[in-house]
Chains A and B, each alone.
Chain A
Amino acid sequence: MTIRAIEKVSVGQNGLGAFILQCKKMDIHYCDYSGSSRGMNAFIKSQLSNFAKAHPQIEFAVSPRPRKHPVLIGHYINGRTKSICVKNMDSLQVLKKAQLLRDASGEKNKRVNKPVTSISESVRGVWSPYHGNGMVV
């Protein structure tokens, strides 16, 4: 007799019941010296505090990375990371990139043809030729 795992009763779906933001952590790397992180430094000084205050569910880690371009790295619940190099951007552009990381789900970019994806069973059922009144040929 084979050992079978207990089947799951239900599958968790984000937004059904509770909503959980998928971005859990954001790493912010800057350099004090180089000019490419001038906008990043301005972002950290002026806008980061408001952005972090508006998103208490994200952990923000600011750390220097000398002699390198500034980078934003988002860590997601599904285990993936998404990193964006923000060299030579001004602070508003960096803010837009941070919002992009916040809105992302952490999945890989995919092309999807059908707008609706569902895991629930069809409401109307599947058509069967053996049921119903039948058709006279």
Chain B
Amino acid sequence: MSRSLLRSVLELRTPITRLPPTFLLPVRARALSTTLQQVEPEIPPRGVPAQTTAPPERSSAAASAPTTTSPFPPPPPAPFQAGLSDSVSQLLPLLRAQPGHYVTVHIHGRPYLVTAGDQVRLPFLMSGVNPGDVLRLDRASVLGSRDYTLKGSPWIDGSLFECRAVVLGVESEPLRVKIKTKRRNRRSQRVKSKHRYTILRISELKVMGP
């Protein structure tokens, strides 16, 4: 009895005792464990707001934040009826009245032409999201219907449309094995890699009217 108790205590302690406390760790490890959003300071979160784990209510509230803080030409902060040019304010209701819409959203600088219901396999593993999270994609360059196209320069106003995506999960790929060889040498090295990708489903694409 006491032996099994001792063993269970040891088992519970092993993963915790494996790492010393944070102030004893080397400097690099400490910096990595505490870094939040400083990995790529020059590239802002383009398609995705910084609060990627946010539920829809919070994400819609936080959606306008990255557009105003980005170094790109910011969209006008005023309500869009005032800031739009004449042609856009004339033709946007026509675009909105047509049945199908598409949008080219940019996530980490890459464009994805999507309509509602599409599945997007991002070429990277998005950190900090769980399956079921809703993301508001507010960085887009083109918004269109069958006959009308709204092009941004370079981005269209984030308040003109609402595009939301649901995180479906993480998928992987078959193991890649690359055989590396040097000349005049019998040795060959097998380099293995297996990437993981985040899957999104575009759940909503709505063109906002004036």
Given A13-B201, A45-B11, A102-B131 in contact, is the A110-B118 Cβ separation under 8 Å? no
Q: Which of A22, A46, A100, A118 has the most CB of B within 10 A?
A: A118
Residues on the A chain within 8 Å of B144, using CB: 123-124
Instruction: List residues of chain A with CB within 8 A of the CB of B201.
Output: 13-16
> Of B27-35, B79-87, B154-162, B171-179, which stretch is located at the interface?
B171-179
Task: Kindly state whether residue A103 has any CB partner on chain B within 8 Å.
Answer: yes
A57-96 interface code vs B (CB 8 A; 1 in, 0 out):
0000000000000000000000000000000001110000
Complex interface: chain B residues within 8 A of A90 (CB)? 14-15, 18
Interface residues in chain B, defined as those with a beta carbon under 8 Å from any beta carbon in chain A: 8, 11-12, 14-15, 18, 100-102, 110, 112-123, 130-132, 144-146, 166, 168-174, 199, 201, 203
Cβ B101 vs Cβ A104 within 8 A: no
B102 neighbours in A (Cβ, 8 Å): 123-124
Docked CA distance A21–B132 (Å): 8
Q: Which residues of A contact B (CB under 8 A)?
A: 13-17, 19, 21-22, 38-39, 41-42, 45-46, 90-92, 100, 102-105, 107, 109-112, 115-121, 123-125
Q: In the complex, which of the residues A42, A100, A123 contacts B101, with contact meaning CB atoms closer than 8 Å?
A: A123
A61 to B131, CA, bound (A): 21
Within the assembled complex, what's the spacing in Å between the Cα atoms of A62 and B204?
39
In whole angstroms, how far apart are the Cα atoms of A116 and B131 in the complex?
Answer: 18
Residue with the highest number of chain B CB atoms closer than 10 Å, among A39, A102, A115, A121: A115
Once the chains bind, are A104 and B171 in contact (CB under 8 Å)?
yes
If over half of A's interface residues share one DSSP class (helix, strand or loop), that class is named, otherwise mixed; here it is: loop
Question: Which of chain A's residues have a CB closer than 8 A to the CB of B172?
Answer: 104, 109
Contact of A120 among B14, B117, B169, B174 (CB under 8 A): B117
A86, B160: Cα distance in complex, Å: 49
Q: How far is the CA of A39 from the CA of B122 in the complex (A)?
A: 33
B202 → chain A closest CB, angstroms: 8
Are the C-beta atoms of A42 and B14 separated by less than 8 Å?
Answer: yes
Q: Which of B100, B101, B121, B171 contacts A109 (CB 8 A)?
A: B171
Bound-state Cα–Cα, A118 to B102, Å: 12
A22 to B117, Cβ gap below 8 A?
A: no
B-side contacts of A109, CB under 8 Å: 171-174
7 closest A-B pairs by beta carbon, nearest first, are A15-B201, A15-B166, A103-B170, A42-B11, A123-B100, A103-B169, A118-B118
Check B119 against A111 for contact (C-beta < 8 Å).
Answer: no
In the bound complex, CA of A50 to CA of B119 (Å): 31
> With A and B bound together, what is the CA distance between A110 and B194 in angstroms?
11
State the CA gap A34–B121 with chains docked (Å): 41
B58 to chain A, nearest CB (A): 17
> Nearest CB to that of A117 among chain B residues?
B119
CB <8 Å contact, B115 and A104 = no
- Min CB gap B95→A, angstroms: 11
Minimum CB–CB distance for B113 against chain A, Å? 7
Q: Is the CB of A120 within 8 A of B115?
A: yes
B12 touches A42 (CB 8 A): yes
B199, A115: Cβ atoms under 8 Å? no
